[in-house]
Structure 1
Amino acid sequence: MIQLHDVDLKLLRVFGTIVKCGGFSAAQAALNVAQSTISEQMAHLEVRLGVKLCERGRSGFRLTEQGQAIYAATQRLLGAVEDFCVDADMLKREVSGTLNLGVIDTTITDPVCPLKQTTQRFVQRGHEVHLNVYIGTPAELEERVIDGRLHLAVGHFPFRVPGLSYSPLYQESHGFFCGRNHVLFGLQEPKVNLLERIAASRIVARGYLQHRDLQALGVDKAAATVDNVEAQAMLILSGAYAGFLPEHYARQWVATGDLEHLGAGRLRLLSTFEIITRRGIASPLILRAFLDELMQCARALAKDL
């Protein structure tokens, strides 16, 4: 069995940075060392572990099968070390350490999203916290919370993953939009005819909300599928597609006349945003403090609506 020492943890952190950056050259800036030093460190780590971790050359940087397994184990190990440091801080009854937060994209323009207020209040309380924020799809966020890379994540999660706890936070309103160059833009027709015209149009939907969106429109199949709101907005703004967007995010283009909100009363959907955390894991003090602040801000915003 391999006995890990401080130098091994340092080398594993170097290895993790190399993988995240996509190669030795790209990791130089992040590690602030020369490429020759990185090569020496990786060679030392491979000797310590007894396996070849990566291939590099004209074809680019690539992890070996053993390297992929070691990288996954490294993520778990470093996450456990970080949790230990946070738990040790908890014994001092001080909120300090690193908090890893995940969020889905384009929440920044939502006035009912409590994350901005929570972050401000959390920092103003004098907590010595380093905040890491990761933007990803619901599936990516769930995966990262499960394996410990994220302490918590906020988003809408249509499916339930074993091992995660889901707590409702707030609701996001979605409307159906088309761009200025779309055939439905400025169309004045009765509601029934509008729905028929929509059903005959090219619809774009996010993969994880596709079933909900198509069911609301009475459409069998999407003409385009995306995994984030920005990509969906890009296709709708092109005028070739129509689809649902968060109303707070679309408002900027409605104001300039580049988007039109179709069937505002009939075609409005609500998505419940939830907090996800790992089930059955003792929550460190830093996480509990942030969650308390997050729920307080969410309740305050709900009262103001």
Structure 2
Amino acid sequence: MIQLHDVDLKLLRVFNTIVKCGGFSAAQATLNVAQSTISEQMTHLETRLGVKLCERGRSGFRLTEQGQAIHQAAQRLLGAVEEFCVDADVLKRQISGTLNLGMIDTTITDPACPLRQTTQRFVQRGHQVHLHVYIGTPAELEERVLDGRLHLAVGHFPLRVPGLSYSPLYQESHGFYCGRNHPLFGASEPKVDLLERIAANRVVARGYLQQRDLQALGVEVAAATVDNVEAQAMLILSGAYAGFLPDHYARQWVDSGELEHLGAGRLQLLSAFETITRRGAASPLILRAFLDELMHCSRAMAVQN
């Protein structure tokens, strides 16, 4: 049986980075070491494990069958080590006070959103914390984080506001939908014809995503503008408008036959969700602990998916 040491964990992290980057040369910038050093580290790891992990040469980088198995095992191991470090770090800290968290609406149905798992883990730590949650538009969340009313917020932020720090979290998929009473319901035209028919009908767009949505459709002006997803869904369900919705949120009405996903696989957009905090401000312990849990849950869910 192989006995793991600190150096083995370091080498496994190097191996994971190489796989993530897709090769030795691509991993140089991330690891900040020369390619010859990376090659030496991989040779050392292969010697320690007694298996050949990858093929590298003119044909490119490719994991061997044993390398694929080791990579999967390494992800589980490093995830467990990280979770232990988070648990041990949190347990030695006494956290109390109020955490003010902001988020945009309708994230509750998104299986990719790590906030539910994060909240469960954070509360189960036994912290004496009062959690205050505010739901708002991206602009409102940015304003409240900037003036200190919120410690952090999670959402889609198309613009960059000076004084805020943005960190990637996960992505949300959006499809184009119409209601059962809409003229496009049941349409099966090719993409070009469908876009022409969409342009001839009323389109609703969220104010903070209006430019992106309209460009994707080739439409110049929205017939209606809303500030949140719930209002967007209400207008689309009415049958008078068509528009983009998060796929996870629309699914309940698609399943009941009240909405149809138009141009599935073609009229599809991704929204990058991020965390925002105030740049330069001293981070209270309660904020750092919650962010640790949030990033841990986000990485764990990404590995599972």
TM-score, with structure 2 as normaliser = 0.69
SS at structure 2 position matched to 1:254: helix
Deviation at 1:93, TM superposition (A): 3.9
Q: Hey, what does 2:56 align to over in structure 1?
A: none
Q: Match of 1:237, as an amino acid?
A: L
Map of 1:182-201 to 2, 5 A cutoff? 182-201=182-201
Q: Hey, what does 1:108 align to over in structure 2?
A: 108
Q: Hey, what does 1:139 align to over in structure 2?
A: 139
Number of residue-to-residue matches in the alignment: 215
Deviation at 1:188, TM superposition (A): 2.1
Please list every run of at least 4 consecutive aligned residues from structure 1 whose deviation after the TM superposition is greater than 3 angstroms: none
Q: Hey, what does 1:262 align to over in structure 2?
A: 262
Q: Hey, what does 1:289 align to over in structure 2?
A: 289
Deviation at 1:190, TM superposition (A): 2.0
Q: Hey, what does 1:98 align to over in structure 2?
A: 98
Q: Hey, what does 2:273 align to over in structure 1?
A: 273
Q: Hey, what does 2:119 align to over in structure 1?
A: 119
SS at structure 2 position matched to 1:293: helix
Whether 1:174 and 2:188 are equivalent positions in the alignment is no
SS at structure 2 position matched to 1:161: coil
Q: Match of 2:179, as an amino acid?
A: G
Q: Hey, what does 2:252 align to over in structure 1?
A: 252
Q: Distance in 1 between matches of 2:103 and 2:196?
A: 36
Could you report, residue by residue, the CA deviation over 1:238-268 in whole angstroms, capped at 9, with x for unpaired residues? 0000000000000000000000000011100
Deviation at 1:200, TM superposition (A): 1.0
Q: Distance in 2 between matches of 1:147 and 1:253?
A: 38
Which 5+ residue runs of structure 1 have no aligned equivalent? 1-89
Q: Distance in 1 between matches of 2:236 and 2:242?
A: 5
SS at structure 2 position matched to 1:141: helix
Which 5+ residue runs of structure 2 have no aligned equivalent? 1-89
Could you report, residue by residue, the CA deviation over 1:42-89 in whole angstroms, capped at 9, with x for unpaired residues? xxxxxxxxxxxxxxxxxxxxxxxxxxxxxxxxxxxxxxxxxxxxxxxx
TM-score, with structure 1 as normaliser = 0.69
Could you report, residue by residue, the CA deviation over 1:174-212 in whole angstroms, capped at 9, with x for unpaired residues? 000000000000112222211110111100000000000
Q: Distance in 2 between matches of 1:184 and 1:93?
A: 57
SS at structure 1 position matched to 2:105: coil
Q: Match of 1:293, as an amino acid?
A: E
Map of 1:84-95 to 2, 5 A cutoff? 93-95=93-95
Q: Match of 1:244, as an amino acid?
A: F
Q: Distance in 2 between matches of 1:263 and 1:228?
A: 23
Q: Match of 2:161, as an amino acid?
A: V
Q: Distance in 2 between matches of 1:236 and 1:165?
A: 34
Q: Match of 2:263, as an amino acid?
A: G
Q: Distance in 1 between matches of 2:187 and 2:277?
A: 45
Q: Hey, what does 1:34 align to over in structure 2?
A: none
Could you report, residue by residue, the CA deviation over 1:106-147 in whole angstroms, capped at 9, with x for unpaired residues? 000000000000000000111111000000000000010011
Q: Hey, what does 1:212 align to over in structure 2?
A: 212
Q: Distance in 2 between matches of 1:191 and 1:139?
A: 33
Q: Distance in 2 between matches of 1:274 and 1:208?
A: 15
Q: Distance in 1 between matches of 2:215 and 2:254?
A: 25
Q: Match of 2:199, as an amino acid?
A: A
Q: Distance in 2 between matches of 1:259 and 1:277?
A: 36
Q: Distance in 1 between matches of 2:166 and 2:242?
A: 31
- Considering only aligned residues, what root-mean-square deviation do their CA atoms show, in Å? 1.2
Q: Match of 2:184, as an amino acid?
A: L
Q: Match of 2:218, as an amino acid?
A: G
Q: Distance in 1 between matches of 2:218 and 2:266?
A: 13
Q: Distance in 1 between matches of 2:201 and 2:133?
A: 37
Tell me the percent identity. Answer: 84
Q: Match of 1:167, as an amino acid?
A: S
Q: Distance in 1 between matches of 2:205 and 2:161?
A: 22
Q: Hey, what does 1:5 align to over in structure 2?
A: none
